[in-house]
């Protein structure tokens, strides 16, 4: 057996071991962060809505990241017979509020609010810049006083027109019903 072959086998084994261990280290880091984020607070705690607001919809699966540019956009139309204040809140996987904003929504109007980077596709009415990356969070739609809003949400490539990808998120009522 030659020295070159021996060095090749050792180097290949070391590289393979390093590559195999890297994902495990990343998962361990994520698990550590999850434990830190939930320490001192019970799992499943969802923040109460602000005074006067009613939760209409929750969209699980929200993402917001700058590299690559991924955002979650929400569109709501007021179908009620009165003007309302529409509020969007962005949460991370621990239910920590990463950002929120409110906009007046007149009868029949549609507003678009994006959590993450401004998109090339939409002309947003507001941008919520999260305090950190959201990988598996959710967005919550609230209203005061109207209750008849039609809303949808999608995770999309914020940098391109048309986006390289766009994925519609399922919505659930405040009671968890679809």
**122-127: long-range contacts, CB 8 A cutoff, minimum separation 24:** 122/73, 124/73, 126/88, 126/101
Averaged pLDDT score across all residues of the chain:
80
How much of the chain, in percent, has pLDDT values that exceed 90? Answer: 64
Sort 60 into a burial class: Cβ within 10 Å, 0-12 / 13-18 / 19+.
middle
- What CATH code would you report for 54-168? 2.60.290.11
Find residue 40's DSSP bridge partners. none
Find residue 76's DSSP bridge partners. 111, 151
Q: Is the pLDDT of residue 108 over 90?
A: yes
pLDDT value of position 7: 41
Q: Which residue has the tokens 């009868």?
A: 107
HSE-CB for 97 with a 13 A CA cutoff: 12
Contact 161, 121 (CB under 8 A): yes
Where does the pLDDT of residue 14 fall: very low under 50, low under 70, confident under 90, or very high at 90 and above? Answer: very low
Distance of CA 163 to the CA centre of its chain: 17
How far is residue 143 from each of residues 107, 108, 124, 149, 155, measured CA to CA in Å?
13, 15, 18, 8, 22
Least confident of 34-43, 77-86, 140-149, 155-164: 34-43
SS percent in the chain: helix, strand, coil, step 5: 20, 40, 40
């Amino acid at each position: 057996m030659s020295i070159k072959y021996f060095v090749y086998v050792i180097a290949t084994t070391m590289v393979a071991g390093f590559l195999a261990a890297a994902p495990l280290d990343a998962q361990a880091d994520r698990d550590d962060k999850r434990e830190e984020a939930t320490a001192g607070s019970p799992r499943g705690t969802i923040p109460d809505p602000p005074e006067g607001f009613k939760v209409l919809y929750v969209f699980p699966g929200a993402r917001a990241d700058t590299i690559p540019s991924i955002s979650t956009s929400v569109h709501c139309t007021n179908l009620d017979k009165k003007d309302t204040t529409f509020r969007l809140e962005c949460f991370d996987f621990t239910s920590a509020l990463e950002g929120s904003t409110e906009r007046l929504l007149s009868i029949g109007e549609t507003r678009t609010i994006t959590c993450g980077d401004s998109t090339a596709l939409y002309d947003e009415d507001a941008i919520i810049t999260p305090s950190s990356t959201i990988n598996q969070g959710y967005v919550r739609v609230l209203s005061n006083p109207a209750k008849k809003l039609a809303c949808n949400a999608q995770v999309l490539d914020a940098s391109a027109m048309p986006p390289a990808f766009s994925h519609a998120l399922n919505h659930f009522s405040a009671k968890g019903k679809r």
